[in-house]
A and B are shown apart, each in its own frame.
Chain A
């Protein structure tokens, strides 16, 4: 290995890498990073871009959920492709007309609808959505809740929960959505729970659990948190920032 002009890690001082996950003490050659550090960064960025720009294999997802005894219905937002989706978050919040009709035909009376949405990370959905959704279906069923088929939404933003919930007249929508990837993790699922979803629901009326992934909030713990939130929302009839106070008032 060539001699780096300054590799602080080799200096007898405190090891900075023990104190932060930031990319400290990389060393340098002139102004350049060592090749390995440079390529480690590029790999993290490549993973993040792949998570954003690839599409979810919905057939595989449906088959996987079918293996757990879950029916699925696939819907689309009004963003027709990835490029439109990235540029037009407004279209990712609206349901395509065909999809709205398909959902309306499913009937009503659901306590909970689970929506799997690609969001900004298809990687997160492919790695984590099946065990999360199947786990929730079984936990909710044992609580005697009426459940819609699992809705798989393509080119979807969080607020697509609202038209999906409206079309199904679902009391609660639980959306599992791929979060915007960072360099350190590109496979996180965010969970958004909305009571009585309807167009124009502010984000402050949803409850959120983020960073669900291996190495973040693990799936069993995430399932417990989601079930606890849904139970509290059913008891209080409220979701979002007001939920904590509403639960406290019940006690």
Chain B
């Protein structure tokens, strides 16, 4: 069904819901590459005005990708809870924005609509919200998850310590992990992106991380971010797998591009659960997403990249994950051109994920061919802390030598703790003090021999 908006006698027409959503999306290179973006700021505003007038119910009647062809669309329809939708059922998208912003709408009200909203509703309202709106609402929506640490409590910030190495060298990984721990990073997870995807390497990596965690008694989780099929085989082989990881996207075809389907994720989730490493009510899945993933697999079906990203969250929330993060600037400038586009996308993804009930983190990052730098990352990190982001990713000196991109430095986590007053997960905060890294005020003070000498005594690493 076409949608129309008239501004001073000029009629703007939008062919259908996905066209309206795409044209209403704040400017970004990926939508221009896909040929779905508005042709200028006035058409974009016309689309945003038409979108603001659209009843939320419209999204229950018109799919952007047909359920007949797509299992993510079917999942979205199945997840929708009419009773949870009731408090907002009469609202337009514009009124929904106002409802989200008003002070009477607090944590309880936001939590109550988690399965009343669909990804497309959340994407739609985000398109007519400025950065401050996205921050203000997200900051009210606490999403807490648990394994050995409790992640997402308001006023705290967790970190993924990402000790990648170009050849997955055991000593290199361990040295990098220790470097991060010395800076207080790693309460969300100590997680390695493997350079290879063999079961043997996966088992070696999770084993060395598990030994590190056990011997230092760190209240955190470890993860090798290999493919789920590799994780399943490693678990069958008896490997110590805390978190099962997978990249996910917003359409069945895009997920096929990742070599997965929903049944495979369920199998991996069940296998991870059966290890009983987490508490019974704990969370054991870890997902990464990112705007542009569907387009890069030519699996976006003419839907804008931010709406496709939000649809990936339907996949993630089907498995009660411990951690979800958008890898926001990793994909490159043909999807998010510059610092401004990366900053907005990071805050959109965080807001949309939180509203859909996800324990949302962000990999605050960029590549060398994007028009972005460390100062853009400073801005995004500070804004995300204001928005109460669950976790961010940190690497030595902001330089990931395996994936060849810039994420945050462990130093940046120190800035959040000491300047923005965001302590880590309570269990990890206690551990930092007990082992002698921090003082009573939470400030980093030392380099305890237990950590600095770890590599002299470890078995797995063979130092």
Measuring CB to CB, which residues of chain A are less than 8 angstroms from any residue of chain B? 5-6, 8, 11-14, 16, 19-26, 28, 30-33, 37, 41-42, 44-45, 48-49, 51-52, 86-90, 120, 180-184, 186
B399 near A183 with CB under 8 A, answer yes
A13-B396 in contact (CB<8A)? no
Shortest distance from the beta carbon of B182 to any chain A beta carbon, whole Å:
6
Residue B87 is within 8 A (CB to CB) of chain A in the complex: no
Assuming the contacts A31-B412, A41-B399, asked whether A52 and B368 have C-beta atoms less than 8 A apart, the reply is yes
- CB closest chain-B residue, reference A14: B455
Among A6, A31, A184, the residue within 8 A (CB) of B182 is A6
B449 touches A25 (CB 8 A): no
- Judge whether B216 is part of the interface by a CB distance below 8 angstroms: no
In the complex with contacts A14-B456, A31-B419, A41-B397, A22-B447 CB distance below 8 A: no
Nearest A residue to B412 by beta-carbon distance? A31
CB nearest to B395 among chain A residues: A22
Query: B418 contacts which chain A residues (CB < 8 A)?
Result: 30-31
A-side contacts of B412, CB under 8 Å = 31
Q: Is B63 located at the chain interface by the 8 A CB criterion?
A: no
Q: Of residues 348 to 371 in B, which have CB atoms within 8 Å of A's CB atoms? A: 367-369, 371
* Chain B residues within an 8 Å CB radius of A45: 368, 373-374, 406
State in angstroms the CA–CA spacing of A87 and B334 once bound together. 4
Chain A residues, Cβ within 8 Å of B445: 5-6
A90 & B179 in contact (Cβ 8 Å cutoff): no
Chain B residues lying within 8 Å of A5, measured Cβ to Cβ, are 444-445
CB neighbours (8 Å) of B297 from chain A are none
Contacts of A14 in B (CB 8 A): 175, 452-456, 463
Q: Are A19 and B452 in contact (CB under 8 A)?
A: no
Given A41-B399, A89-B334, do A13 and B369 touch, yes or no (CB 8 Å)? no
Q: Determine if A183 and B411 form an interchain contact, defined as CB atoms under 8 angstroms apart.
A: no
Could you say which of B165, B182, B449, B452 contacts A22, with CB atoms under 8 Å apart? B165
Task: State A249–B83 Cα separation when bound (angstroms).
Answer: 64
Q: A221 → chain B, closest Cβ, in Å?
A: 19
- A-B contacts, 13 of them at CB < 8 A, read A6-B447, A13-B447, A19-B455, A20-B396, A22-B395, A22-B397, A23-B396, A31-B418, A45-B368, A86-B369, A87-B334, A180-B367, A181-B368
Query: Are A16 and B333 interface neighbours, CB within 8 A?
Result: no
With known contacts A28-B411, A180-B367, A11–B397 Cβ distance under 8 A: no
The CA-CA distance from A181 to B332 in the complex, in Å, is 13
Given contacts A6-B447, A11-B447, A11-B452, contact A19 B171 (CB under 8 A): yes
**Are A28 and B447 closer than 8 Å at their CB atoms?**
no
Q: Contact check: which of B165, B397, B451 meets A37 at CB < 8 Å? A: B397
Tally B residues with Cβ within 8 Å of A.
54
Q: Considering the chains assembled together, what is the distance between the CA atoms of A181 and B369 in angstroms?
A: 8
When distances are taken between beta carbons in the complex, the residues of chain B under 8 Å from A184 are 399, 401
Report B382 CB to chain A, min CB distance, Å: 12
- CA gap between A2 and B197 in the complex, in Å: 45
Question: Knowing A5-B445, A8-B179 touch, does A26 contact B368 (C-beta < 8 A)?
Answer: no
Whole-angstrom CA separation of A8 from B454 in the bound complex: 13
Q: Does B183 contact A (CB under 8 A)?
A: yes
- The chain B residues found within 8 Å of chain A, CB to CB, are 29, 32-33, 163-166, 169, 171-176, 178-179, 182-183, 333-334, 337, 367-369, 371, 373-374, 395-399, 401, 404, 406, 409, 411-412, 414-415, 418-419, 444-447, 449, 451-456, 463
Chain A minimum-CB-distance residue to B178:
A16
B179 touches A24 (CB 8 A): yes
Cα A51 to Cα B368 in complex, Å, equals: 9
A12 touches B452 (CB 8 A): yes
CA distance in complex: A182, B369 (Å): 9
Chain B residue at smallest Cβ distance from A17: B175
Complex contacts, B172 vs chain A, CB 8 Å = 19-22
Chain B nearest CB, measured from A215 CB (Å): 14
Find out whether the CB atom of B401 lies under 8 angstroms from the CB atom of A49. no
Q: Are A25 and B179 in contact (CB under 8 A)?
A: yes
User: Which residues of B lie under 8 Å from residue A44 when comparing CB positions?
Assistant: 399
- Closest CB in chain B relative to A48 CB, distance in Å: 4
Q: Say yes or no: A23 contacts B444, CB within 8 Å.
A: no
Chain A neighbourhood of B182, CB < 8 A: 6, 8
Minimal Cβ-Cβ distance residue in A for B333: A86
Q: Is the beta-carbon distance between B333 and A48 smaller than 8 angstroms?
A: no
Instruction: Using A14-B455, A30-B414, A184-B401 as known contacts, say yes or no to A87 and B33 having CB atoms under 8 A apart.
Output: yes
* Nearest CB of B to A91, in Å: 10
- Closest A residue to B402 by CB, please name it: A22
- Which of B33, B399, B412 has the largest number of chain A CB atoms within 10 A? B399
Q: Which of B33, B179, B374, B399 contacts A16 (CB 8 A)?
A: B179
Give bound CA distance, A22 to B404, whole Å: 11
- Tell whether, in the assembled complex, residue A87 and residue B415 are in contact, meaning their CB atoms are under 8 Å apart: no
Are the CB atoms of A6 and B444 closer together than 8 Å? yes
Q: List 11 extra interface pairs beyond A31-B419, A44-B399, CB under 8 A.
A: A6-B447, A14-B455, A20-B172, A20-B396, A21-B166, A21-B172, A22-B397, A24-B397, A31-B415, A45-B374, A48-B368
| Closest beta carbon of chain A to B408's beta carbon, Å | 11
The listed residue with most A CB atoms (<10 A of its CB), out of B164, B179, B373, B456, is B179
A120 contact set on B, CB distance < 8 A:
369
**A16: B residues at CB distance < 8 A:** 175-176, 178-179, 455
Cβ A24 vs Cβ B399 within 8 A: no
Contacts of B399 in A (CB 8 A): 22-23, 41, 44, 183-184
Chain A residues positioned under 8 Å from B368 (CB to CB): 45, 48-49, 51-52, 180-183, 186
Chain A residue nearest to B337 (CB atoms) is A87
Bound-complex Cα distance A40 to B173 (A) = 23
Min CB distance B283 to A, Å, is 29
A86 / chain B contacts, CB cutoff of 8 Å: 333-334, 337, 369, 371
**Residue numbers in A under 8 Å from B179 (CB-CB):** 8, 16, 22, 24-25
Q: Residue on A with the closest CB to B398?
A: A41
Report yes or no: A6 in contact with B446, Cβ–Cβ below 8 A. yes
Contact in complex: B176, A8 (CB < 8 Å): no
CB-contact partner of B176 in A20, A26, A31, A89, under 8 A: A20
Q: How far is the CA of A239 from the CA of B323 in the complex (A)?
A: 42
Q: How far is the CA of A69 from the CA of B233 in the complex (A)?
A: 57
A14-B453, A24-B176, A52-B368 in contact; A32/B447 too (CB < 8 A)?
Answer: no
Known: A16-B178, A49-B368. Contact between A26 and B396, CB under 8 A?
yes
